[in-house]
Amino acid sequence: MYLADQTWPELSDYVAEESLAVVPLGSTEQHGPHLPLSTDHTIAEGLAREATDRTDFLCTPTVNVGVSVHHKQFHGTMWADAPEFRDYVESFSRNLAYHGIDRIVFVNAHGGNQTHLREVGRRLREDEVAYAVEWMWDESIPQLVNDLFEHNGPHGGPKETAMMMHLDPENVKTDELEAARDGGLVEWSNEEASVHGARDFYDSIDNTDNGVLGDQTDATPEKGARLFDAASDQLVQLLEWLDDRRFEDLMAKPHVEPKPGSRRER
């Protein structure tokens, strides 16, 4: 159920009976010569809507601008600085608790948001406001991603290309796939991004000229459909798993024994 399309009376049952919300978050940032800047928020929204349509859990509107400063050199990349992004997401997430929401799934399609969403999740949990988890679509189906693509590329590669062919084909430039591959970096290894163990790169332009990695020509709409279905399945299962938990079991475990002060005499 998409929250924004409801009137407030239509949400009565959900508010009375349920406690879970799905929040899609992406970015608006360069994705090479073949994909639109919307890529990450389109994917996040697509998956969040699909999984909540299937399950009738609540889906909020999408946060379209995330932490993308590492793509700033490319035309049009938008970004909020990390502290402001975290605080904005924390603020509206925390306020969802007023309507009884105590568990949240951040459906995320931008790697640059991950640590920040986890930090927000920790703050909400420490205050016992909500249990929030960050879910990154491709991390839910690593095997399938590996099976489908030889060089899947962490950014703007065939996995994202295929997803966009499935979700928003009009905005994929299929005649730029070869250029994307040839102007970017096909084989990517963590070693290339580090010097004697230190990650020395800060911006995507440090590694590629056109901003993308992997072999984009390996993408097809059919592969996109498979990815989308498989990831949606995983998300549905996550929502159901989360919905089944008791709130107490989602909160932090207590201090180990002996408890602080338990044998204090004063």
Radius of gyration (Cα) for the chain, nearest Å?
20
CA dihedral 144, 148, 149, 153 (to 10 degrees): -40
- Shortest CA distance to 104 belongs to which of 252, 250, 248, 222? 250
Tell the smallest beta-carbon distance from residue 191 to its own copies (Å): 9
Minimum CB distance to its own copies smaller for 28 or for 223: 28
CA dihedral 97, 19, 90, 233 (to 10 degrees): -170
Tell the smallest beta-carbon distance from residue 257 to its own copies (Å): 8
Owner of token pair 């059919």: 222
Amino acid, res. 49: R
Minimum CB distance to its own copies smaller for 77 or for 215: 77
Tell the smallest beta-carbon distance from residue 150 to its own copies (Å): 22
DSSP string, 150-188: SS--SSSSHHHHHHHHHH-GGG--GGGHHHHHHHSBSS-
Tell the smallest beta-carbon distance from residue 187 to its own copies (Å): 18
Minimum CB distance to its own copies smaller for 99 or for 226: 99
Minimum CB distance to its own copies smaller for 140 or for 223: 140
Tell the smallest beta-carbon distance from residue 100 to its own copies (Å): 3
Minimum CB distance to its own copies smaller for 115 or for 187: 115
